[in-house]
């Protein structure tokens, strides 16, 4: 079989990179056979070593770059301040934005078969550093000390990180402090292999506008020693902390959060603002991680919804009601639906907190609840969806096509599933008018889009 391939394992070859994959690797072709090489940039000539050959593609390692891309920059982080997942850190911010916009265009054409849709220039950040309001770091042990950071790519080895260049300083500080305190108290790190030890993850979340910090300790065991001292030390070292939460995850799993959650100290939630709307955020709830760009994204969703005060709006996958409450300011009534019960509790509390009365929230699967509402005669004029990476459930798309809202605003964190769903909606009577990519996650390959569809 390998005889028919143009390259063999361990070959050293010269290539020119033509493109980037959706996870940021360079793509070079030899007689049409694609090779994926981490670190290669379009336009660059390089020597690579072929390290793996599959039937339809190969993997290479970058050996030497003969001619560098104008978008290549020196990697700003070292091991100490690195954060896992910054796949684009070798590309200038300008280059990253170009790549992301391009990726959206390509995917919409290739998967969505959308030829004439307007894709606007991506909205990037003025300052694309220290933006994340949340960290969730795995804990390990080295030389008798706890370490916290990220997994080395394709391994289970944790790299100890002192500072992440993409997290807010308060978040970095919180992770460091809790790591040191737990070391002082000799709390052991969880070990995946033996399923022993205590501390699995430290999570920190910070309300940028309110200055409120939440610390979540995720442990294997429900009990662990010195809880009182731990709390005292955290409160003393981190004056911004308003909530310390303990989450127990006793399972052998790589899912981070477990089922049992208990407040160890302070409030159950912290608060933050997006625009003028105040939000209570609990440990288990989804909350956008880039507060600056979230405002940009939600403003766009509101603009596309073009509300006059007369509309009934459904916000599917509403989380803690962030988009719902934003829309409620301009709509007649908003109905939010979300699968996580705690998030809906937060959503209701958030409506009350802001004195917003024209919203109603329901717990359940969007694909089950919305068809039920529709059967009961509750159709919407405007439907907003903001699904997780896997996109909308087919049953939901079908209900949209039956219910025929005038407008659909699709907020997406995954261009591939977005394109798939847009195709279905196009075939079912909708036209995709505008796509606005927003860079919510600088230096990573992720790209968010806000899309307007109207009934044909
Ligand atoms: N719109 C919110 C949340 C978006 S994230 C915001 O901007 O903050 C996607 C949300 O969908 C998560 O809160 C997740 O819990 C929820 N979710 C996942 N699958 C779902 C389903 N089948 N039905 C309803 N909600 C779901």
- Quote the pLDDT of residue 260: 93
Looking at ligand 1, which atom is closest to the CA of residue 387? 9
Question: Which tokens in the block code for residue 133?
Answer: 């309001």
Q: Please tell me which residue in 392, 413, 449, 450 is annotated as part of the active site.
A: 413
CA of 386 to the centre of ligand 1 (A): 7
Give the Å distances, CA to CA, from 197 to 43, 152, 190, 257: 49, 21, 4, 16
- Quote the pLDDT of residue 313: 98
Give the Å distances, CA to CA, from 418 to 102, 366, 421: 15, 17, 5
CA of 119 to the centre of ligand 1 (A): 25
Clarify whether 182 is annotated catalytic. Answer: no
Question: Which tokens in the block code for residue 272?
Answer: 């933050």
| CA-based end-to-end distance of the chain | 50
The backbone region for 306, taken as left when phi is positive above 0, alpha when psi lies in -120 to 50, beta otherwise, is: left
Q: How far apart are CA 301 and CA 298, in angstroms?
A: 5
CA angle in degrees (0–180, nearest 5) for 353-354-358:
110
Ligand 1 mutation pick, 134, 286, 394, 418, max ligand atoms within 8 A of CB: 286
CA of 392 to the centre of ligand 1 (A): 10
Q: Give Cβ neighbours of residue 201 (< 8 Å, ≥ 6 apart).
A: 136, 137, 138, 139, 216, 218, 256
Q: How far apart are CA 330 and CA 116, in angstroms?
A: 30
Its pTM surpasses 0.75: yes
CA of 381 to the centre of ligand 1 (A): 21
Q: Give Cβ neighbours of residue 226 (< 8 Å, ≥ 6 apart).
A: 185, 187
Residues with CB under 6 A from ligand 1: 286, 288, 317-319, 322-323, 337-340, 343, 365-367, 386, 388, 393
What DSSP string describes 395-439? HHHHHHHHH--SEEEEEES-HHHHHHHHHHHHHTTEEEEEEEEE-
- Quote the pLDDT of residue 157: 86
Greatest alpha-carbon pair distance for the chain in Å reads: 70
Looking at ligand 1, which atom is closest to the CA of residue 285? 13
Q: Whose CA is nearest to atom 21 of ligand 1?
A: 365
Specify whether the CB–CB gap between 269 and 280 falls below 8 A: yes
- Quote the pLDDT of residue 2: 47
Nearest to 129 by CA among 154, 103, 163: 163
Specify whether the CB–CB gap between 244 and 267 falls below 8 A: no
Specify whether the CB–CB gap between 37 and 58 falls below 8 A: no
Looking at ligand 1, which atom is closest to the CA of residue 288? 8
CA of 384 to the centre of ligand 1 (A): 12
Nearest to 202 by CA among 189, 217, 187: 217
Q: Whose CA is nearest to atom 22 of ligand 1?
A: 365
Ligand 1 mutation pick, 257, 289, 301, 319, max ligand atoms within 8 A of CB: 319
Ligand 1 mutation pick, 338, 361, 411, max ligand atoms within 8 A of CB: 338
- Quote the pLDDT of residue 224: 84
Looking at ligand 1, which atom is closest to the CA of residue 413? 5
CA of 322 to the centre of ligand 1 (A): 11
Q: Whose CA is nearest to atom 23 of ligand 1?
A: 365
456 residues of the chain, pLDDT tens digit each: 445 899 999 999 999 999 999 889 999 999 999 999 999 999 999 999 999 999 999 999 999 999 999 999 988 776 656 656 788 999 999 999 999 999 999 999 999 999 889 999 999 999 999 999 999 999 999 998 999 988 887 788 888 888 889 999 999 999 999 999 999 999 999 998 999 999 999 999 999 999 999 999 999 999 988 899 999 999 999 999 999 999 999 999 989 999 899 999 999 999 999 999 999 999 988 899 999 999 999 999 999 999 999 999 999 999 999 999 999 999 999 999 999 998 999 999 999 999 999 999 999 999 999 999 999 999 999 999 999 999 999 999 999 999 999 999 999 999 999 999 999 999 999 999 999 999 999 999 999 999 999 999
Q: How far apart are CA 389 and CA 392, in angstroms?
A: 9
- Quote the pLDDT of residue 183: 95
């Amino acid at each position: 079989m390998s005889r028919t391939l143009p390259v063999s394992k361990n070959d050293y070859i010269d290539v020119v990179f033509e493109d980037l994959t959706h996870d940021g690797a360079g793509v070079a072709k030899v007689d049409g056979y694609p090779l994926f090489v981490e670190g290669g940039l379009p336009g660059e000539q390089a020597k690579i070593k072929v390290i793996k050959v599959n039937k339809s593609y190969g993997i290479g390692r970058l050996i030497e770059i003969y001619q560098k891309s104008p978008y290549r920059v020196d990697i700003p982080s070292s091991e100490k301040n690195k954060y896992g997942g910054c796949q684009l850190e070798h590309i200038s911010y300008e280059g990253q934005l170009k790549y992301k916009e391009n990726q959206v265009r390509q995917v919409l054409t290739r998967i969505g078969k959308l030829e004439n849709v307007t894709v606007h220039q991506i909205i990037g950040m003025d300052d694309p550093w220290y933006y994340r309001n949340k960290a969730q770091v795995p804990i390990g042990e080295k030389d008798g000390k706890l370490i916290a950071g990220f997994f080395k790519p394709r391994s289970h080895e944790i790299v100890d990180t002192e500072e992440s260049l993409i997290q807010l300083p308060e978040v970095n500080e919180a992770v460091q402090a809790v790591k040191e305190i737990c070391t002082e108290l000799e709390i052991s790190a969880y070990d995946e292999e033996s399923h022993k030890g205590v501390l699995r993850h430290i999570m920190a979340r910070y309300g940028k506008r309110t200055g409120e910090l939440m610390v979540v300790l995720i442990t294997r065991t429900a009990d662990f020693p010195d809880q009182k001292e731990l709390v005292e030390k955290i409160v003393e070292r981190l004056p911004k902390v308003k909530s310390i939460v303990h989450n127990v995850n006793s399972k052998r799993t790589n899912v981070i959060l477990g089922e049992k959650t208990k407040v160890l100290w302070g409030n159950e939630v912290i608060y933050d603002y997006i625009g003028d709307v105040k939000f209570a955020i609990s440990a288990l709830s989804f909350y956008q991680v880039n507060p600056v760009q979230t405002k940009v994204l939600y403003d766009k969703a509101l603009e596309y919804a073009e509300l006059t005060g007369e509309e009934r709006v459904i916000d599917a996958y509403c989380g803690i009601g962030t988009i719902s409450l934003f829309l409620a300011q301009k709509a007649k009534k908003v109905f939010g639906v979300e699968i996580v019960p705690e998030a809906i509790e937060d959503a209701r509390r958030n409506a009350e907190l802001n004195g917003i009365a024209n919203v109603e929230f329901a717990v359940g699967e969007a694909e089950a609840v919305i068809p039920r509402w529709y059967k009961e005669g509750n159709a919407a004029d405007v439907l907003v969806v903001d699904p997780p990476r896997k996109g909308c459930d087919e049953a939901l798309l079908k209900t949209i096509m039956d219910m025929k809202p005038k407008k659909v605003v699709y907020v997406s964190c995954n261009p591939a599933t977005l394109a798939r769903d847009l195709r279905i909606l196009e075939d079912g009577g909708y036209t995709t008018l505008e796509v606005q990519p927003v860079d919510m996650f600088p230096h990573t390959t992720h790209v968010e889009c806000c899309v307007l569809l109207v009934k044909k």
